[in-house]
């Protein structure tokens, strides 16, 4: 592998069944909202380690197997609980966070100290889904989406770990550009909530908090594909940090033209990373490098 997852039954005195039944029903609401602490079960990588000992590069296969296991356990655990209604949005995020902590510990045990690149690439996928879920939950909190939409969007985010266009290795340039475009569309939708009469109507403080959550999800999504391209990744990080700082400053200032200022910050972000000559733009440095010009 190159450097490059019995209820107690009452006994004793006899009581009328009606009384006992009432007690059970009274406990159900609390039980329904019980949050679990899932533990990640690592897949068997024995065959990959054995092949690696023979000189085979099994790093990509190990990453894929770990991420697939994470996908499957997120789906059968926290996501299933959310869909069943046994946890609310906050409980869902809490269960996801618990599983991701366990996942990271499992990755460290499997890959360190011999395979730090694989370890980092695998854990970046966990960071990615954690940030995505936090962002979706924040959007639900401020009324940009419903609980039903949270379930649908979370399903998409989890499925994208294994079937999306952003991959730990070999992500296409076009996929990075598309994710940036999607993020900017979301930012512009968020800025519109500051307009008079908007539905939903958010305060600049709510917009700043929500933008930060969405920006961290974007940062994590892209970073999960750019670990082996640190200079490009740093350029993205710089642009995201600048955007967050600008909008936070606007929120702190209490400016009356907050929407206009937020849209100007979004435009500056677009100029840096997309637009025509931005990092991922059609005539930007990466496009020119790929075309050989």
Least confident of 12-26, 230-244, 259-273: 12-26
pTM of the predicted structure, to 2 decimals: 0.88
Q: Is residue 88 part of a domain?
A: yes
Residues near 217 by beta carbon (within 8 Å), at least 6 away in sequence: 131, 132, 134, 135
Shared domain check, 252 and 201: yes
Shared domain check, 235 and 189: yes
What pLDDT score does 24 carry? Answer: 44
Q: Is residue 116 part of a domain?
A: yes
What pLDDT score does 129 carry? Answer: 98
Q: Is residue 242 part of a domain?
A: yes
| Neighbour-count burial for 232-270, b at 16+ CB within 10 Å, e otherwise | bbebbeebbeebbebbbebbeeeeeebbebbbebbeebb
Per-residue pLDDT band at 293 (split at 50, 70, 90): low
Shared domain check, 160 and 189: no
Q: Is residue 28 part of a domain?
A: no
Span 260-266, average pLDDT: 98
CA 216 – CA 212 distance, rounded (Å): 6
Q: Is residue 127 part of a domain?
A: yes
Shared domain check, 125 and 242: no
- Say whether 251 sits in a helix, a strand or coil: helix
- Say whether 95 sits in a helix, a strand or coil: helix
Shared domain check, 209 and 146: no
What pLDDT score does 288 carry? Answer: 84
pLDDT at 28 over 60: no
Q: Is residue 27 part of a domain?
A: no
Shared domain check, 155 and 181: no
What pLDDT score does 14 carry? Answer: 40
Shared domain check, 196 and 130: no
Shared domain check, 160 and 61: yes
What pLDDT score does 266 carry? Answer: 98
SS (H, E, C) 21-55: HHHHHHHHHHHHCCCCCCCCCCCCCHHHHHHHHCC
Q: Is residue 143 part of a domain?
A: yes
Shared domain check, 115 and 183: no
User: Could you read off the pLDDT of 40-80 as tens digits, one per residue?
Assistant: 999 999 999 999 999 999 999 999 999 999 999 999 999 99
Shared domain check, 185 and 96: no
Question: Are 239 and 246 contacting, i.e. CB atoms less than 8 angstroms apart?
Answer: no
| Neighbour-count burial for 55-80, b at 16+ CB within 10 Å, e otherwise | eeebbbbbbebbbebbbbbbbebbbe
What pLDDT score does 34 carry? Answer: 84
Q: Is residue 24 part of a domain?
A: no
Shared domain check, 224 and 153: no
Q: Which of 142, 164, 186 is the last residue of a domain?
A: 164
Phi and psi angles of residue 274, each rounded to the nearest 5 degrees, phi first: -135, -110
Share of the chain above pLDDT 90, in %: 84
Domain of 122 in residue numbering reads as 37-164
User: Could you read off the pLDDT of 199-257 as tens digits, one per residue?
Assistant: 999 999 999 999 999 999 999 999 999 999 999 999 999 999 999 999 999 999 988 99
Angle, helices 116-141/89-111, rounded to nearest 10 degrees = 180
Per-residue pLDDT band at 166 (split at 50, 70, 90): very high
Q: Which of 164, 199, 217 is the last residue of a domain?
A: 164
The structural domain count of the chain equals 2
pLDDT at 11 over 60: no
Shared domain check, 212 and 271: yes
User: Could you read off the pLDDT of 82-138 as tens digits, one per residue?
Assistant: 999 999 999 999 999 999 999 999 999 999 999 999 999 999 999 999 999 999 999
What pLDDT score does 2 carry? Answer: 57
pLDDT at 13 over 80: no
pLDDT higher at 149 or 2: 149
Q: Which of 113, 137, 164 is the last residue of a domain?
A: 164
């Amino acid at each position: 592998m190159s450097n490059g997852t019995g209820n107690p039954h009452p006994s004793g005195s006899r009581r009328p069944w009606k009384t006992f039944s009432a007690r059970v029903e009274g406990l159900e609401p609390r039980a329904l909202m019980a949050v679990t602490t899932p533990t990640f079960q690592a897949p068997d990588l024995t065959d990959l380690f054995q092949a690696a000992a023979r000189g085979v590069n099994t790093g990509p296969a190990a990453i894929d197997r770990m991420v697939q296991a994470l996908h499957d356990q997120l789906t059968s655990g926290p996501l299933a609980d959310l869909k069943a209604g046994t946890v609310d949005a906050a409980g869902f995020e809490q269960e996801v966070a618990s599983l991701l902590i366990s996942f990271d510990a499992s990755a460290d045990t499997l890959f360190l100290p011999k395979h730090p690149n694989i370890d980092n690439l695998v854990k970046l996928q966990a960071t990615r889904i954690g940030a995505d879920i936090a962002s979706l939950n924040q959007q639900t909190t401020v009324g940009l989406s419903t609980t039903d939409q949270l379930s649908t969007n979370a399903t998409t985010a989890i499925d994208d770990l294994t079937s999306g266009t952003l991959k730990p290795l070999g992500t296409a340039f076009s996929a990075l550009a598309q994710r940036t475009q999607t993020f900017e569309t979301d930012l512009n939708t968020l800025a519109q909530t500051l307009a008079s009469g908007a539905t939903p109507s958010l305060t600049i403080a709510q917009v700043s908090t929500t933008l930060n959550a969405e920006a961290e999800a974007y940062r994590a999504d892209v970073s999960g594909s750019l670990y082996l391209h640190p200079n490009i990744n740093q350029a993205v990080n710089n642009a995201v940090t600048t955007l967050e700082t600008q909008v936070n400053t606007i929120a702190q200032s209490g400016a009356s033209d907050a929407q206009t200022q937020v849209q100007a910050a979004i435009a500056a972000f677009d100029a840096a990373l997309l637009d025509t000559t931005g990092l991922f733009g059609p005539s930007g440095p990466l496009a020119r490098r790929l075309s050989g010009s």
